[in-house]
Amino acid sequence: MAAVPLSGAKTYSIAAIPADGIGAEVVDAGISVLRVLSRTLGTFGIEFENYDWSSERYKKTGQYMPDDALDQLRKHDAILFGAVGAPDVPDHISLWGLRLAICQPLQQYANVRPTRILPGTQSPLRRCGPGDLDWVIVRENSEGEYAGQGGRSHVGQAWETATEVSIFTRHGITRIMRFAFEVAQKRPRKLLTVVSKSNAQRNGMVLWDEVATEVGQEYPDVTVDKMLVDAMTVRMVEKPKSLDTIVATNLHADILSDLAAALAGSIGIAPTSNLDPTRQNPSMFEPIHGSAFDITGKGIANPVATFWTAVEMLAWLGEQEASEKLMKAIEKVCESGITTCDLGGTATTKQVTEAVIREIGEASG
Ligand code: NAI
Ligand code: MG
């Protein structure tokens, strides 16, 4: 086992932001696994800098992050994020104070959410095994329903009014569609489903559909179909095999990807990447799940979502071999039945982590 990376191997600098609840538990597990992988393979080095940006910090200082947070993050090659949200802070404060405060200014406009049924685990869908559900959801991550436009007036009155304005720009739609077509094109089926709601939402969503059609002409080898978001939930449940790559707005994909994770077995396995495809800014990698107050501190959080997140991070950094090795190790451990209770097992976070570490060692030994 090489103790240091081979000469010429690149060392990556990763900003770790565990934040709240089980975020700290799963990011710790992720860091241990990545360190072992780096030591075992010797093909890349990895260093972590920990940031204590969290709801605790907010409660003490009134700020989730310092003023120069984005400059600090820009020094790193990537960001590994846990989850943000605390029972005594309103969710819109925590989300906008940390996660969106990073994704939006760093223009991480493509949110990518692969979903598969891992070997040894079970979908709640009847007759749906590994291979029958293999999707990549591409979520627009910079505008749409989460653009933050709107306001409240007449607060506390019976005629109180609030608006939440969805923003759709040709620029924003074009870049996410190009990204989604490219993801679809690289997958064997070359099939992209564009999710919309242009029957009821006749402005932004119609522009969304029109730009999808225009961009699609640049990718004649990709088959495109369009689904209204409500019907999409039905298709995901009834015909999971008919889907491959999916592109949807910020809100729609947020909801559909939680459904996707549940259909694949558990929210505890699902990874997500917030990418700046221009690579001008570091991209951010995180499990889909939140801070899970109900299981925080119990040592039973499923670390697989964070491990799979690390797989995605390594692939983005160009470490394909390490990425594939880690995914294989995760699959082997799931197959062997060492899983946490969300997947029907009895293992702790630590036991799953140790099993993945053992597997990495054995695969290389
Ligand atoms: P959640 O994802 O934290 O939990 C939903 C359910 O899934 C809970 O029963 C939880 O125990 C279970 N679960 C989640 N991750 C798990 C794991 N790794 N292993 C085993 N079980 C797991 O969503 P919830 O309850 O809606 O939100 C809790 C807090 O997290 C809120 O403050 C919310 O705003 C925040 N949140 C933050 C996100 C982020 O930082 N990206 C994403 C979603 C929610
Ligand atoms: Mg969500």
- Point out the ligand 1 atom lying closest to the alpha carbon of residue 23: 40
What are the residue ranges of helices labelled H in 154-223?
170-186, 204-216
Band (57; pLDDT cuts 50, 70, 90) = very high
Q: How many residues does the chain have?
A: 365
pLDDT per position as a tens digit, 221-247: 999 999 999 999 999 999 999 999 999
pLDDT of residue 363: 75
pLDDT of residue 130: 86
DSSP conformation letters of 245-276 = EEEE-HHHHHHHHHHHHHHTT-GGG-EEEEE-
Ligand at shortest distance from the CA of 18? 1
- In the DSSP assignment, the letter for residue 46 is E
Ligand at shortest distance from the CA of 345? 1
Ligand 1 in contact with 305 (CB < 6 A)?
A: yes
CB of 241 within 8 A of CB of 133? yes
Band (4; pLDDT cuts 50, 70, 90) = low
Band (362; pLDDT cuts 50, 70, 90) = confident
Ligand 1 in contact with 306 (CB < 6 A)?
A: no
Expressed in angstroms and rounded, the spacing between residue 165 Cα and the centre of ligand 2 is 19
Considering only CA atoms, give the Rg of the chain: 20
**What whole-number distance in Å separates Cα of residue 179 and Cα of residue 156?**
43
**What whole-number distance in Å separates Cα of residue 95 and Cα of residue 92?**
5
Q: Report the alpha-carbon angle 272-312-68, nearest 5.
A: 70
Mean of the pLDDT values across residues 47-67?
97
pLDDT of residue 1: 45
CB of 353 within 8 A of CB of 36? no
CB of 353 within 8 A of CB of 33? yes
Q: Which residue has the CA at smallest separation from atom 38 of ligand 1?
A: 290
> Any bridge partners for residue 264, and if so which?
none
**What whole-number distance in Å separates Cα of residue 84 and Cα of residue 99?**
7
Expressed in angstroms and rounded, the spacing between residue 363 Cα and the centre of ligand 1 is 32
Expressed in angstroms and rounded, the spacing between residue 147 Cα and the centre of ligand 1 is 22
**What whole-number distance in Å separates Cα of residue 223 and Cα of residue 189?**
9
Ligand 1 in contact with 91 (CB < 6 A)?
A: yes
Expressed in angstroms and rounded, the spacing between residue 230 Cα and the centre of ligand 2 is 17
Counting ligand 1 atoms within 8 A of each CB, the residue from 20, 26, 266, 289 with the most, and so the one to mutate, is 289
Ligand 1 in contact with 83 (CB < 6 A)?
A: yes
Q: What is the pTM of this model?
A: 0.94
Counting ligand 1 atoms within 8 A of each CB, the residue from 267, 294, 352 with the most, and so the one to mutate, is 267
pLDDT per position as a tens digit, 156-190: 999 999 999 999 999 999 999 999 999 999 999 99
- Lowest mean per-residue pLDDT among 122-131, 291-300, 328-337: 122-131
**For the chain, what is the mean pLDDT?**
95
Q: Which residue has the CA at smallest separation from atom 25 of ligand 1?
A: 292
> Given CA atoms 77, 83, 88, 89 in this order, what sign does their dihedral have?
positive
Q: Name the phi and psi angles at 120, rounded to 5.
A: 80, -5
Q: Name the phi and psi angles at 316, rounded to 5.
A: -65, -35
Say which residues have a Cβ less than 8 Å from residue 311's Cβ, sequence separation at least 6. 271, 323, 326, 327, 330
* Distance from chain centroid for Cα 322: 19
Say which residues have a Cβ less than 8 Å from residue 19's Cβ, sequence separation at least 6. 53, 54, 55, 81, 82, 83, 84, 98, 291
CB of 122 within 8 A of CB of 111? no
